[in-house]
């Protein structure tokens, strides 16, 4: 869906023919849709992107625009080795910071990754991460950077609920939108998490770390 289509759907959800029919709604409808887009994106760690860093050695600095705790998977391409993601406190408690060798863990924090054991020679890593979606500005812009088009309608439902928090006097309509939103969101979460390796997660237990 485009921003214009989402605005039309939002109008219908709150009982308007067009968002312009209510000056208060018209004034912040785009902000409401962008806020809804961001809240869903952070909750589900979407949209996602894949990129490579290196060859290099610690630290590997992440590009801008990554969500907080948004790194979902890391692979050492050089050694063909998937890495367990841990936070700095866990790494300090479990791993010798001076150890070197083939990396097993990726310490994730402070907008960077450090591999442990630290690589003795430059390596290249592949990263899957959730990014902060671009705000929709133009009528043709799409949410979540164009990903998941069959679930874009969730954003209009979420925006309608945000509008309800400020001023929406129809409790029956509110209840219907809440129920529809919850059911559709639950379906979306199941699709995203259909496979174990695709589940959003920012940290895995060290006991889950792969060995090569």
Neighbours of 122 (CB within 10 A): 10
Question: Average pLDDT for residues 179-201, to the nearest whole number?
Answer: 77
Higher pLDDT, 206 or 31: 31
Query: Binning pLDDT at 50, 70 and 90, where does residue 107 land?
Result: very high
Neighbours of 63 (CB within 10 A): 12
Per the domain annotation, does 203 fall within a domain?
no
Share of the chain above pLDDT 90, in %: 65
| Domain co-membership, 108 together with 140 | no
Per the domain annotation, does 204 fall within a domain?
no
Higher pLDDT, 193 or 137: 137
Q: Which residues contact 173 (CB under 8 A, 6 or more apart)?
A: 13, 14, 15
| Domain co-membership, 119 together with 148 | no
How many domains in the chain?
Answer: 2
Query: Binning pLDDT at 50, 70 and 90, where does residue 201 land?
Result: very low
Residue 144, domain extent:
3-45+133-196
Q: In whole angstroms, what is the distance from residue 103 CA to residue 117 CA?
A: 5
Neighbours of 70 (CB within 10 A): 23
| Size of the chain in residues | 212
Least confident interval from 84-88, 90-94, 181-185: 90-94
pLDDT at 195 over 70: no
φ/ψ of 55, rounded to 5, equals -60, 145
């Amino acid at each position: 869906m485009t921003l214009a289509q989402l605005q039309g759907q939002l109008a219908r959800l709150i009982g308007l023919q067009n968002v312009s029919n209510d000056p208060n709604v018209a004034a912040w409808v785009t902000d409401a849709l962008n806020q809804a887009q961001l809240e869903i994106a952070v909750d589900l760690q979407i949209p996602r992107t894949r990129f490579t860093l290196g060859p290099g050695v610690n630290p590997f600095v992440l590009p801008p625009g990554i969500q907080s705790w948004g790194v979902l998977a890391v692979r050492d391409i050089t050694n063909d080795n998937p890495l367990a993601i841990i936070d700095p406190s866990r790494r300090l408690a479990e791993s010798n910071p001076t150890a070197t060798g083939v990396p097993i863990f990726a310490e994730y924090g402070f907008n960077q990754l450090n591999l442990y054991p630290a690589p003795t020679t430059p390596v290249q890593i592949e990263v899957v991460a959730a990014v902060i979606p671009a705000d929709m500005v133009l009528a043709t812009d799409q949410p979540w950077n164009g990903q998941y088009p069959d679930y874009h309608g969730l954003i209009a439902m979420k925006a309608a609920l945000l509008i309800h928090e400020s001023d929406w006097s129809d409790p029956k309509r509110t209840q219907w939108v809440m129920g529809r939103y919850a059911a559709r969101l639950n379906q979306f979460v199941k699709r995203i998490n259909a496979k174990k390796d695709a589940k959003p997660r920012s940290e895995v237990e060290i006991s889950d770390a792969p060995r090569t």
